[in-house]
A and B are shown apart, each in its own frame.
Chain A
Amino acid sequence: MTTNIPQTNEPHITDAEANLELKEVEGLSQGQIVRKRFFRHVGAVVSMVVLALIVLLAFTSVGLSFGGVRVPGWWQWDWTQNPRPINGGVPSWEHPFGQDSIGKDLFALVMRGTQQSLMIMVLVGLIGATIGIVIGALSGFFRGWVDAVLMRFTDVIITIPFIVIGAVIGSTFGKLGAFILAIVLGLFSWTGLARLVRGEFLTLREREFVDAARVAGASNGRIIFKHILPNAMGVIIVNTTLLMAGAILAETALSYLGYGVQAPDTSLGLIISQNQEAFQTRPWLFWWPGIFIITIALCINFIGDGLRDAFDPRQKRMPSERAMRKSDTAAADAAALRGAEVEDAMSATASVGQAQAPGPDARAPRVEGDTAGDNPDRDRD
């Protein structure tokens, strides 16, 4: 790489960007870089804090009830009690979210619903991700008939809309409680992820480091788990997040249709379904559960966006002009101090050139739900 080192006092703007980029990743591991980029995404960090608060609130306030074990929380009511309706259930100090038509405390109901929705979301995400990774990895790595069989199987499942298969599952397993329902839903939610993981594996298995590992005598299992999977982690994590956001919406929709969580227990979708006729008279019964669904889904989507920015350096935010100017002056000062060692500058530019050029893996199948296609270069047109 023969680079013209700019000799003027105003370095070219690309160098400023390069300096920023280089300074940012100097001496950091992959995980540290990802973490650093993630925490720079304001929306994602805020979403994570909000989500953590919601989880904390939901699980401490009304306590837990699982498999017959009941741990009480700090809130005075729970979702099974029917206190006397006060003033038609209008929100008050006693019942900040209001009460439903038979007097149940809406705060307790919404908290319990949030617990259920979160639990289903996490289970569906975990199970879907596990199966998706296994199927995608197997068919991408082994190709041939394994790939053909597994992908045709995926095609079959993907033909059935998730809501439709969810409804069928719900009408069979809904009575058995939210936990079983979540597990069975997870068994059918892996298709999109499997395709993406397969695409990722197809590209990665052709890379030199895989050949090197094979020459060194690594077994297939070792190549898959130690060499390819870590490199596919970005796609997997981002899409598992999006899968979870989809799962919470699907769960609430199923509960709304009557195929989700069943009556003595409750869920956010079920509360809305039970009370949608009362919108005119008791609007709070409708607003609170909806707001919680949206907040959770929005947080997860923003976290997914932040993760994508963090894992995919090609799609990063443009650094602000001030940051670039600052980096410019810093670089110029440093160069002046060093007496502008051309060697140094050259190697720096060269390595940055490598870091910035998207490798073949960056061009690999686009992430599902890929939203922010931001590239710093695009800004200058």
Chain B
Amino acid sequence: MATFIVRRLIAAVLILLAATFLMYNMVALSGDPLEDLRGVQTPNTAQLIEARIRLLHLDVPPPLRYFIWLGGIAGCFIGQCDFGMTIQQQPVLDVLLNSMDQTLRLVTVATLVAIILGIIIGITTALRQYSAYDYGVTFVSFLFYSLPIFWFAVLLKQFLAIGANDWLQRGGQIHWWVIALVALASGLFWMSVLGGDVKRKLITFGLAAASGGLLLWYMSVSGWFLNPRFIVFGLDFSLLAIAVLFLTVALLVTAILTGLKNRRSLFIALGMAVLGIALYYPVNFYLFNPQVVPMNAWIMIASFLVVILFGVAVGHLFGGDNKAANRKIAAWTGFLVFAIMVVDRHMQLWQAYSQSGFIRGRPIATIGASNPGFAQSSFFVQGVDAFTHLLLPSIALMVISFAGYTRYTRASLLEVMNQDYIRTARAKGLTERTVIVRHAFRNALIPITTIVAFDIAGIIGGAVITERVFGWTGMGSMFQNGLDRVDPNPVMAFFLVTGALALLFNLLADIAYAALDPRIRVS
């Protein structure tokens, strides 16, 4: 394994060297970096030109200048990174560090959401092949494939941001016919996804439509969209809603991983959920209280790890004869329960956030990556702020890859479901759940890992466009500014980061491939 990774890394570095050489020369030869100075006739023009030539080594021809640049990059290995200067005489490294986290955040969120949603929807369409739901998703994914990302982003800005903000300012009430439509849609959706005979379909439809409609009606009359808490007669019943959510998560995780008939697993999952309910107030008062714990991203990640490890321990201690599956169940339940708590903590701040002086009741942002007004606020307020700013760009960015992942997952799962060993598994009398989750799903994931790795270059390219539409000053704008002024250094910094990211993802895909398919031995 180690030799494999080392060999792949060396190959990746060589490819990156060749690609950067190509890019550097193409950018350097794309125009005249002195054009803006040549146009003006001031007494010191000659000096300015001279200064810029010295700053950017313009007297060296591009193929050789590349090696000056490469020398600066190589300095990173001895702790002295030098990405060169921009044409505005700023160190590129500073610009890069300022803009990198925005773009990486956007790309990561969009990729993760697209993968998760794409796989879930792909699986359901494969399991309900040729249903109305399947055809609907097929058509929608074709449409998404054909959407120009910038056009879609402008539409999102208009309707999802300005429209939604107007609506929130009017009080966040929903018309009865919208509620009826949503209820109908949710009924049809669940009916199509869950399937079964006519009677079961009708029952599913009725239940889903009624619960969807009721929930939406309640949200509308209680002003949930302005303040996402469950308040009845002035009392906060949010813990009740949270408790229901926790228990549902426990049931769902058990149903997917071992089936509800496995009592021990069910009790372990429910135990984790009950523990979550019991710890809800302590966690909120201590861990999530900025005055007690100075929360930051690292502490948050560490807390998640602790929760997952705790779940693994619980699953191991009470796992009985099926320790492996129960460890997984307890860890997943713990993870999801804690994630809901984190989301809930953010939602508690929603009203205060959207009514603060910087926002004035129009929370969904259309410009920029964060509101500078909240720079000094707590981790959770910044989290809400990041959410409102990330929402639209990540939707715009994930749409195309989401369509791809759905189609690939569907095709791949259908392919696997047609294999002989699936027939064998069914013939053994295994339940449909076991066949799908244990036998089919894992194998269906193998081709998807490759697609995801390939897709990352496309997502980065899309980020350049998305950043432009939403006015982010991320790496995309650094790239564009550099390119417009024939300034290779910032362009190369952009390309170095994204190219390395793409190669890293390819490497990860290879490793995941080997992990998923034991027949593949890496050597």
Contacts and interface: CB of A to CB of B under 8 A. Distances in A.
26 contacts: A156-B22, A159-B457, A160-B19, A160-B457, A161-B498, A163-B461, A164-B460, A164-B464, A165-B23, A167-B464, A168-B27, A168-B30, A168-B491, A245-B145, A249-B146, A249-B148, A249-B149, A253-B148, A257-B465, A259-B483, A290-B151, A294-B151, A297-B146, A298-B146, A370-B411, A373-B410
A298 B143 contact: yes
Interface in B125-154: 129-130, 138, 141-143, 145-151, 154
A20 interface: no
B154 A279 contact: yes
A318 interface: yes
Nearest to B432: A381
B72 interface: no
Given A161-B460, A257-B480, A375-B414, A369 B404 contact: yes
A318 to B, nearest CB: 7
Given A172-B29, A257-B468, A375-B418, A161 B457 contact: yes
B502 interface: yes
Contacts of A374: 129, 414
A232 B378 CA distance: 59
Contacts of A290: 148, 151
A40 interface: no
A131 to B, nearest CB: 16
A168 B142 contact: no
In the complex, the 10 A-B pairs of residues with the closest C-beta atoms, listed nearest first: A373-B411, A163-B461, A297-B146, A161-B461, A172-B30, A371-B407, A298-B146, A290-B151, A161-B457, A156-B18
Contacts of B146: 245, 249, 293-294, 297-298, 300-301
B517 interface: no
Contacts of B407: 369-372
A253 B26 CA distance: 20
Contact of B411 (A156, A157, A372): A372
Contacts of A276: 150, 154, 469
A366 interface: yes
B144 to A, nearest CB: 10
A272 B499 contact: no
Contacts of B415: 373
Nearest to A168: B26
Interface string B141-174: 1110111111100100010000000000000000
A156 B19 contact: yes
Interface string B402-438: 0010011011101101100000001000000000000
A377 B29 CA distance: 57
Contacts of B143: 294, 298
Q: Output the residue of A253, A373, A375 with the most chain B CB within 10 A.
A: A373
Q: Interface extent on B, as a size class?
A: 35 or more
Nearest to A305: B142
B418 A377 contact: yes
Contact residues of B: prevailing secondary structure: helix
Contacts of B129: 374, 378-379
B15 A152 contact: yes
B424 to A, nearest CB: 13
A171 B502 contact: no
Contacts of B461: 161-164
Interface of A: 152, 155-165, 167-169, 171-172, 245, 249, 252-253, 256-257, 259, 269, 272-273, 276, 279, 286, 290, 293-294, 297-298, 300-302, 305, 318, 366, 369-375, 377-379, 381
B294 interface: no
A257 B149 CA distance: 12
Contact of A168 (B410, B447, B469, B483): B483
B111 to A, nearest CB: 14
A163 B503 CA distance: 17
Contacts of B26: 165, 168-169, 172
A298 B148 CA distance: 11
Given A152-B15, A159-B502, A276-B469, 17 more contacts: A156-B15, A157-B19, A160-B495, A161-B458, A168-B483, A171-B484, A253-B149, A256-B468, A269-B150, A273-B150, A298-B145, A305-B142, A318-B130, A366-B411, A369-B407, A371-B142, A374-B414
Given A168-B23, A253-B149, A298 B154 contact: no
B31 interface: yes
Contact of B158 (A161, A279, A294): A279
Chain A CB within 10 A, most for which of B460, B483, B495, B503: B483
Contacts of B408: 370
Contacts of B490: none
B411 A371 contact: yes
A126 to B, nearest CB: 21
B246 interface: no
Contact of B31 (A169, A172, A253): A172
A86 B144 CA distance: 36
Contacts of A165: 23, 26
A366 B148 contact: no
B462 interface: yes
B418 to A, nearest CB: 5
A85 B127 CA distance: 56
B93 interface: no
A337 B486 CA distance: 81
A51 to B, nearest CB: 12
B120 to A, nearest CB: 17
A159 B16 contact: yes
A169 B146 CA distance: 23
A162 B27 CA distance: 15
